[in-house]
Structure 1
Amino acid sequence: MPTNLNMECLKATTSLALLCMYIFSPQVSAFSLTNCTVSGALNNTEELKVLCYKMGFYTVPSPIPSNARFIDMSFNFFSNIRAGDFEDLWNLRGFNLSNGNISQIEDGTAKHFPNLIKLNLAYNKLKTVSRGLLDGLVNLQVLRLDGNLIESIDEFAFKTLRSLIILNLTENNLRQIANVRPVLLSPSLEELLIGSNKFDVFNSCDLSRTALSLIKIDLSYNPLSKFQITENIFPNLDYLDLSHCGRNGTMLWNITDKTFLNSVKALNLTAVDMPEEDLTAVLQNITWASLFKLRLSELKWMKPKTLLQSGCLPGLKVLRLQRNRISKPTAQMLDPCSNLTELDFGENVISAVSASIFKKLTQLQKLYLQVNKLTKVNNSLQNLLMLEFLDLSRNSISELTCTDFANLAQLNTLYLYSNKISKIFQCVFKDLNNLELLRLGTNKLLTIDVAFQQGLPSLKHLQLTYNKLSKISKESFKSLSSLRTLDLGDNQIFEIEAHAFSGLTNLTDMLLYSNMITSKTIKDPAVFSGMPNLKSLDLRTNIIHYDKDKLQDPPFLNLGSLNILSIHSQRQGFGKIPSNLLQGLTSLTMFYGGRMNLNNLHPDTFKSTPNLWFLDLSKNVFTDDDSITAEVFHPIPKLSRLIISSAQIHSLNFLINANLSRLLTLRAPENKLDVINQTLIQSLPHLTYLDLQKNTFTCDCNNAFFINWALTRNYTQVIYLNRYTCSYPLSLRGKSILDMNVESCNVNIDFIMFVVSSVVVMLTLLGSFICQFLHWQVLYAYYLFLAFLYDSKRKQMHQQHGFKYDAFISYNAQDEPWVVEELIPNLEDEQGWRLCLHHRDFEPGRSIIDNIMDGIYSSRKTVCVITHKYLRSTWCSKEIQMANFRLFDEKKDVLVLIFLEDIPTCQLSPYYQMRKLVKKKTYLKWPKHGEDTRVFWQKLRMALETKGGPKDEKALLAGHGEHDLL
């Protein structure tokens, strides 16, 4: 076999083998739980939260991840909960089913959550607590049943709740305190909240006759006509709330032994509906040594003097007197309160206070005077040497003097917001060496040039929002070396001098949102100098605008430690982000650039921020395909969260080559995305959250991959998948994308790969076999096919014009001597036959195939001179095949075979088609050397003279032909 043929076979075999070993890229797995979202890693049992609130569900969604730690299904429309709705959730610790429509929960449901710690069933329509409702919750510690319609509780409903600590039954329809008795089967119960029910009598013997472990009990907002304790069932009670109890001023207070409530530390009698004299008597008879906190708010019918004298009990530390219409507290009123550490006069009508009022409150640490009518401080606090917290907010204070806070060296927190302060003198805060938090927002400050030049060495948080500041001068805060947070938002700042923030060496958070800051305001990088530790800068909602592609002096050059930059929501549009705007921000990790009317991003935008992991570009105008390119993301390979909602983008293909291998969250809702292809998904291998709500999806096979991938529920959450609707075609518009039938689009890759692999293997084996054993047969078939093509093309033309020759002689060039010396003389010279010989009659310049075809179809017969050399000739093979096709097509004897040599069967066998012809057709043998040739020539003449019909052929074979069958 020829060498080049071996090479061709080897190449073909190798190519097919390589095709069989081709490996397809695996698909990215995904996660979706209907409309729910998951917070936390799916493989982390300590953090996994399934959030299904406000989804409009009427039935419990499934499947729920079996390792869920917390589930929130609040604000839905479940009416009945069946035990079969849940599989066993062994890891579940918190379950929120509040604010629904639940009227029935099948007994046994709770057995699916054996390790539950917190259960919230608040604000549903449950009417009873059945025996099996809570059965199995042996680890439950907190149970909320408030806001239901509960009228009764089964006596054994709480039998298995051995670990219950807090029970909330407020806002139900319980009428008798005895209805609550079954909950006391929980031996660890400490907090019982039963306010806002319909109890008209609280009698301790109706609840229990033995000591309880309760620490807190809330009976507020019940129409109690009697509060009676006849036995010491609350030895450990710490908090008692009777606020808003009573009805029509008739509530009776009856504690048969004053020591029964000796452990109470906090008592709330806000708006308790009792006559003044009765309440006074109750307070005067309280001898609880442990009482620490007393709330007597909203007792407007009591005289302030009586209220204070009665309420200032000997051991009391905290007294709250809000909303009592107190207008003029006096020293005499407060004399009994000398032990107070906290006093709340908030929301009264106090217009003035003097230093003498607080003269005896030497231990006071917290003073609340918010929401009153104070116009001045007037040095009234000079005696409160221990004061740490002072709330003067929401008054009408317009002026502060240098002595107002002179003696408050211990003051830590000062609230002065929502007043009418227009100016602050340099000396106002000079003595507040321990002040850490100062709130001056919502005043009328026009300038702060010298306000913070002295004092406040410990200040950490300064709030100046909602004032009328327009300019920040140089070194305005230079003395505030400890400041951590500076809030200047919602002012009218349009000018900031260079080094305005000099000295703020410990500042970490700067807020300059909602001002009048322009690009000119921050043109000089020195504006932000002097803050080496600044971590967060908020410049949102200003009027910063750029038209240049590159800045001469980038504004943030001095903020090398900045982590968070917010410049979103510029009121007149940002224009464009200069390519070097962020130069210097080498530590930046989060960038908020939404709502800036951007229409493109320069590829070098984030070149200076290699540590960026959070990027928000929402609500811009990226309509063009090249508005954002993959190159934009190349400098920020650590990006893990990308938000690009409402940005008018048509495709996310710019992410395909962005190299965002660490991207975890991608939010692109409210855009014009129609197709999410497989290449995009596979380019984001670590994607965990995907939000594509409110896009214009095309519901056809182009999105079949995305739908199937979104439902595989393994790694990536497709948030609110059920909310995705079709925009195209029109027949599906408005329908859920999940309603699309993707079965017709699905291709079983595994099956196809099996079939393809099998076929390739078979073809490989077959090709190798053919190359090795059937080479000549293949070539023979090939030439047979060519003969068929030429036969179909040429035969009709020759039939129309008759025959030009009597015979076409097919022979090998090396047998030409016999043809010239024997065949031509006998047939042409003696008999006058017209022969077609290729060396003589073929037209020069014409293709050999065309000459052969013309020769065969221009001749009545074809004579093949067979020798060993003939059988090995390619062109002779073509000639005999064409003659063979003519024979089969015309059903005539047009083929005559002459064997000049004896050819054994073993040599003839490879040419199976030739052997077949020899068996069926007439053939002649050239006599051996010395034998008479006349008989041979006579038989040849007779063969050439026959017309080719069946009868002629039979006569020849019977009378003259040789038919030795090989």
Structure 2
Amino acid sequence: MHFTLLQLFLLRSIYHVMTADERHERCNFLKICTCRLNQVTLLFSVDCSRLEIREIPKLPNKIEELSFKENKIQVIPNQAFSNMTNLLKLDLSSNEIHVFRHLSFTGLKNLRSLNLQNNRLDASKANLNIHVLKPLENLIHLNIKQNLFGNFQPNLTLMVSLRSLEMDFISNDTGQISESFYSMKRLRELDLSGLTGNCSVRSLTNESFKYIPQIENLSLSDCRIKHINKGTFQHLKSISVLDISNNTCLKFEVLENVTYDLQFSSIKVLKFNKIHKVFDMNTMLRTSQIKYLTNTTIQEIHGDSNRLQQIEIRAMLFMPNTLDYVSARDNQFSYGPYFWDLLRISVKTFNVSHMFTFHTEDEHPEQCSYDIVCKKEPVTETKMKYGMEYRDHATPLPMPHQLTSLNYSSCHLHYSIIAYNLTNNILRNVDLSNNLLTSWIGPIYNVKSLKYLDLSSNFCSNVSNYFFSEDFGSLEELYLQNNILGLVLPYDYKGATLQNLHNLKTINLSQNKIQRLSKDFFKSQLKIERIDLSENTFQSIDFDIGHLKSLKYLNLKNNRISFLSASAIQQLDSIDILNKNFRIDLSQNDFLCTCETINFVQWLVTTTVGLIGKKNYTCQLSDLTLVPIENIDKLYDTLSKDCMSKIPIIVALVASVSSVLIFICSGLIYRYRWKLRYAYYMIKIRSHKKMVPVEKDDDKSYMYGAFVSYADEDSAFAHKQLLTKLEKENGIILCLHKRNFLPGNDIATNITSAIHNSRRTIIIMSRNFLKSYWCMFEYNMARMESIYERSNENVLFLIFIEQIASKELPLHILELVQSQSYIEYPNDEYGDTVFWDKITQVLTS
């Protein structure tokens, strides 16, 4: 029956929360209070708290919850709730109540919860007695903490339905629950904690709880207990949750007595947080203090804030296989041989976060009756025989084989993460956030079951391309926010950092000062659903995301993006087509709305991509005015008109400037065409080392005395007369293209090389010469050689073998004829002799 009542109360409370109308309105039957109607039960929850009410007003019988907390009520008169049979919960806490009448609670036969905490109920006046509480025959929960009971315990004999009791526990010596509690067979939860009330007990013995053997949940936290004797909890065979936290005089030594009594009980959760003082010496947990837990089915152990530094070797091996969760937060752990014992325990979640946290002394520290003695403990040498498999030279790191969650956050760890190989494990969640792990080198092996990894807030500025080994293949959530990865990630051009994270679904890289990511950074994350790049310094989306078909959320909030490029827009639209749930947050970016970014503005108007917070976006116009883009349609129309009027002018201006530049460039190229061609062939010749000097002559060496440039129609003059007179009779070595050009080389290269390696260039001028392309090429190359290689030295020597009128000569040849010497071939015998003597003299001078 008692179980059924509790179920009904809990189910009705849950249903009330789920179905209640959330609107709080003034009660029509009591204007100063607010009401909330339950749409299912049609009953009200009435709040009359903090209104300085001094008397209980008359209320109708349509209320299921009623609160008069924090008022100034002093007396609860007879029949105050006589007609309120629907009331389930009554809160009279934090008043000044000091008088109850015998009929104060008459009519509350269905009341389930009564809160009388923080009043002035004086036991000497017997205000709270068996007769006052008699009408509460179905009461399940009662809170009478923070009243003036002293060490008095009220007679609750008639409270046969009570399952949960919160009361003060005060004793100048040994604390004991009174015999009157023996009749309360349904009582399961007893909260004596000083955290929410008054609790001060010097010691506990085997007499303390013998009258409540049925208790399942017992809280003795912050009760200033100095000692717990063996046998204190031996009667509590049904105990499931025991909390002795915040009793700083107990120390770990008390655990031996506590765990001894808990053997073969139903204990599931044991809490002994902070049973050492803030500035005690660092501690060691010993085998004798926890060995009896092997005879339990305990599931959770909480030992936070105990200055715990070491655990005795093999002590943890006494932990039962049922142990799933261990919390050892805010301790002082150092590395030791006990780490290898972790391989043998079945813990699934180990929380050792907030190590080395700074503390101040407690405001009212307990006075303990002993002195702290420092003694040196004997060192036990244990030979480890645990087998390990590790790769290469990675450091082995022991892990409990059943551990699933590890919390090492806020522990002031200041290391670089080098190569580690974890022992066999089924680790799923790891939190290493808020430390100083500044460099992630790795690789990390044997994390094949890992799903969740948090490395945020570590001031990390370096992560290697192989830190995430192939064993990270199961990782789904990765949190790297609030680091300095902007110094290294932009240089990962091939996406090597995340290449092994094929099953990643969520990644957070916010607050990393990242300016850009390479095109292929996310190439391997085909299953990614959420990417957070907010609060960085991105100016554009240059990385590929178009292939991320499962992407649902992209956060680029608070960056420096002024507009999106055409390729970025195309990628976002392609994702939206594949995934209609896709959302992107571009808020708090400095958008530009100008003619240059009008395509981006148009996209904002037409896109079906979900833009988070779009109504709050702002845009800067060309006149530097900042406007909201809530009415983006009108803004686009205005911008389109402004830009259209400028387009013809811009097009004409661009065309004109382009035409002028083309004309100037063309003119320069034409003017210096021979210089450019000469430079090209000279570079080509030199790169192939075609210029080989053969003889010394003055301060320069030349392969030939003269290069002869002639038309093919004049070859008879060149090969018979010129070659005989100059080379055979006078020893001047000539270069003729039919005889001396190197086969296999192109003509232009041969010409340029021959001119450069000859002291002079002889031009056999004729009308055929003027008509020949290659002859004119040879002439111009010789002229360039004269200007740019010989410092304007006259290397050209013109021989006219026929009469040519001045008007037939090109201007640049006529200028040369007028400024430099030339010779005409004579027709008489005397002139012939003078002709060859002159040529020989010029070529040998």
TM-score between both structures, scaled by the size of structure 1: 0.52
Aligned to 2:345: 480
Alpha-carbon distance, 1:277 to partner: 5.3
Tell me, what secondary structure is at the counterpart of 2:549? coil
Aligned to 1:717: 611
- How many angstroms apart in 1 are the aligned matches of 2:129 and 2:180? 20
Alpha-carbon distance, 1:488 to partner: 1.8
1:576 maps to a residue whose letter is V
- How many angstroms apart in 2 are the aligned matches of 1:311 and 1:521? 62
Aligned counterpart in structure 2 of residue 218 of structure 1, from 44, 55, 67 = 67
Q: Residues 282 and 622 (structure 1 numbering): CA distance in 2 closer, same or farther, change over 3 Å?
A: same
Cα deviation per residue 1:338-379 (whole Å; 9 max; x = unaligned)?
A: 634222111123343223211222112111111232344443
Aligned to 1:290: 138
Q: Residues 589 and 330 (structure 1 numbering): CA distance in 2 closer, same or farther, change over 3 Å?
A: closer
Aligned to 2:11: none
Q: Is the 1:455–1:479 contact (alpha carbons within 8 Å) kept by the matching residues of 2?
A: no
Q: Residues 334 and 650 (structure 1 numbering): CA distance in 2 closer, same or farther, change over 3 Å?
A: farther
Q: What 5-or-longer segments of structure 2 have no aligned partner? A: 1-13, 277-281, 358-387, 389-393, 643-770, 772-845
Aligned to 1:745: 639
Q: Residues 214 and 569 (structure 1 numbering): CA distance in 2 closer, same or farther, change over 3 Å?
A: same
Matches within 5 A, 1:58-73: none
Aligned to 1:331: 176
2:189 maps to a residue whose letter is E
Aligned counterpart in structure 1 of residue 162 of structure 2, from 301, 309, 316 = 316
2:404 maps to a residue whose letter is T
Q: Is the 1:485–1:510 contact (alpha carbons within 8 Å) kept by the matching residues of 2?
A: yes
Q: Kindly indicate whether residue 496 of structure 2 is the aligned counterpart of residue 604 of structure 1.
A: yes
Q: Is the 2:102–2:131 contact (alpha carbons within 8 Å) kept by the matching residues of 1?
A: no
Aligned to 2:308: 445
Per mean C-alpha deviation after superposition, the further-off stretch among 635-644 and 398-407 is 398-407
- How many angstroms apart in 2 are the aligned matches of 1:222 and 1:518? 53
Aligned to 1:768: none
Aligned to 1:622: 514
- How many angstroms apart in 2 are the aligned matches of 1:367 and 1:334? 17
Aligned to 1:255: 103
Tell me, what secondary structure is at the counterpart of 2:181? helix
Q: Is the 2:189–2:218 contact (alpha carbons within 8 Å) kept by the matching residues of 1?
A: yes
Aligned to 2:819: none
Q: Kindly indicate whether residue 431 of structure 2 is the aligned counterpart of residue 538 of structure 1.
A: yes
Alpha-carbon distance, 1:738 to partner: 4.4
Alpha-carbon distance, 1:390 to partner: 1.0
Aligned to 2:552: 664
Q: Residues 545 and 335 (structure 1 numbering): CA distance in 2 closer, same or farther, change over 3 Å?
A: same
Aligned counterpart in structure 1 of residue 204 of structure 2, from 347, 353, 358 = 353
Q: Residues 600 and 747 (structure 1 numbering): CA distance in 2 closer, same or farther, change over 3 Å?
A: farther
2:345 maps to a residue whose letter is L
Alpha-carbon distance, 1:722 to partner: 4.2
Cα deviation per residue 1:21-44 (whole Å; 9 max; x = unaligned)?
A: xxxxxxxxxxxxxxxxxxxxxxxx
1:697 maps to a residue whose letter is F
Tell me, what secondary structure is at the counterpart of 1:261? coil
Q: Is the 2:328–2:352 contact (alpha carbons within 8 Å) kept by the matching residues of 1?
A: yes
- How many angstroms apart in 1 are the aligned matches of 2:562 and 2:585? 14
Aligned to 1:395: 247
Cα deviation per residue 1:100-138 (whole Å; 9 max; x = unaligned)?
A: xxxxxxxxxxxxxxxxx9999xxxxxxxxxxxxxxxxxx
Q: Is the 1:202–1:228 contact (alpha carbons within 8 Å) kept by the matching residues of 2?
A: no
Q: Kindly indicate whether residue 528 of structure 2 is the aligned counterpart of residue 639 of structure 1.
A: yes
Root-mean-square deviation (CA, aligned residues, Å) is 3.9
Q: Kindly indicate whether residue 268 of structure 2 is the aligned counterpart of residue 426 of structure 1.
A: no
- How many angstroms apart in 1 are the aligned matches of 2:440 and 2:95? 67
Tell me, what secondary structure is at the counterpart of 1:475? helix
- How many angstroms apart in 2 are the aligned matches of 1:547 and 1:188? 60
Q: Is the 1:457–1:479 contact (alpha carbons within 8 Å) kept by the matching residues of 2?
A: no
Q: Kindly indicate whether residue 307 of structure 2 is the aligned counterpart of residue 454 of structure 1.
A: no
- How many angstroms apart in 1 are the aligned matches of 2:203 and 2:623? 72
Aligned to 1:202: 56
- How many angstroms apart in 2 are the aligned matches of 1:596 and 1:230? 62
Cα deviation per residue 1:46-92 (whole Å; 9 max; x = unaligned)?
A: xxxxxxxxxxxxxxxxxxxxxxxxxxxxxxxxxxxxxxxxxxxxxxx
- How many angstroms apart in 1 are the aligned matches of 2:524 and 2:299? 40
Q: Kindly indicate whether residue 437 of structure 2 is the aligned counterpart of residue 524 of structure 1.
A: no
Instruction: Work out the number of aligned pairs and report it.
Output: 561
- How many angstroms apart in 2 are the aligned matches of 1:638 and 1:530? 27
Matches within 5 A, 1:787-936: none
- How many angstroms apart in 2 are the aligned matches of 1:423 and 1:637? 48
Alpha-carbon distance, 1:454 to partner: 0.8
Q: Is the 1:465–1:489 contact (alpha carbons within 8 Å) kept by the matching residues of 2?
A: yes
Aligned to 2:331: 467
Aligned to 1:415: 271
Q: Is the 1:476–1:500 contact (alpha carbons within 8 Å) kept by the matching residues of 2?
A: no
Aligned to 1:173: 32
2:166 maps to a residue whose letter is R
Alpha-carbon distance, 1:561 to partner: 1.6
Alpha-carbon distance, 1:213 to partner: 5.8
- How many angstroms apart in 2 are the aligned matches of 1:717 and 1:652? 16
Higher RCO structure (Cα 8 Å, ≥6 apart): 1
Q: Is the 1:318–1:343 contact (alpha carbons within 8 Å) kept by the matching residues of 2?
A: yes
Cα deviation per residue 1:282-329 (whole Å; 9 max; x = unaligned)?
A: 544322432332210110x22322x4446884553322115x766556
1:221 maps to a residue whose letter is E
Aligned counterpart in structure 2 of residue 564 of structure 1, from 452, 475, 500 = 452
Q: Is the 1:263–1:290 contact (alpha carbons within 8 Å) kept by the matching residues of 2?
A: yes
- How many angstroms apart in 1 are the aligned matches of 2:561 and 2:39? 58
- How many angstroms apart in 2 are the aligned matches of 1:261 and 1:514? 50
Q: Is the 2:20–2:37 contact (alpha carbons within 8 Å) kept by the matching residues of 1?
A: no
Alpha-carbon distance, 1:586 to partner: 1.0
Tell me, what secondary structure is at the counterpart of 1:255? coil
- How many angstroms apart in 1 are the aligned matches of 2:506 and 2:430? 15
Q: Residues 327 and 367 (structure 1 numbering): CA distance in 2 closer, same or farther, change over 3 Å?
A: farther
- How many angstroms apart in 1 are the aligned matches of 2:517 and 2:39? 65
Q: Is the 1:312–1:336 contact (alpha carbons within 8 Å) kept by the matching residues of 2?
A: no
Aligned to 1:906: none
Q: Is the 2:20–2:38 contact (alpha carbons within 8 Å) kept by the matching residues of 1?
A: no
- How many angstroms apart in 1 are the aligned matches of 2:559 and 2:84? 62
Q: Residues 241 and 622 (structure 1 numbering): CA distance in 2 closer, same or farther, change over 3 Å?
A: closer
Aligned to 1:95: none
Q: Residues 118 and 185 (structure 1 numbering): CA distance in 2 closer, same or farther, change over 3 Å?
A: closer
Q: Is the 2:518–2:543 contact (alpha carbons within 8 Å) kept by the matching residues of 1?
A: yes
Aligned to 1:382: 234
- How many angstroms apart in 2 are the aligned matches of 1:119 and 1:703? 55
Aligned to 1:889: none
Alpha-carbon distance, 1:714 to partner: 5.3
Q: Is the 2:243–2:270 contact (alpha carbons within 8 Å) kept by the matching residues of 1?
A: yes
Cα deviation per residue 1:769-816 (whole Å; 9 max; x = unaligned)?
A: xxxxxxxxxxxxxxxxxxxxxxxxxxxxxxxxxxxxxxxxxxxxxxxx
Between the aligned residues of both structures, percent identity stands at: 18
Alpha-carbon distance, 1:452 to partner: 1.4
2:323 maps to a residue whose letter is L
Cα deviation per residue 1:642-666 (whole Å; 9 max; x = unaligned)?
A: 111222222112236x522322111
Aligned counterpart in structure 1 of residue 259 of structure 2, from 402, 405, 416 = 405
Q: Is the 2:156–2:180 contact (alpha carbons within 8 Å) kept by the matching residues of 1?
A: no
Q: Residues 713 and 267 (structure 1 numbering): CA distance in 2 closer, same or farther, change over 3 Å?
A: farther
Aligned to 1:57: none
Alpha-carbon distance, 1:417 to partner: 1.7
Q: Residues 353 and 704 (structure 1 numbering): CA distance in 2 closer, same or farther, change over 3 Å?
A: farther
Q: Is the 1:235–1:263 contact (alpha carbons within 8 Å) kept by the matching residues of 2?
A: yes
Aligned to 1:817: none
2:348 maps to a residue whose letter is R
- How many angstroms apart in 2 are the aligned matches of 1:652 and 1:315? 66
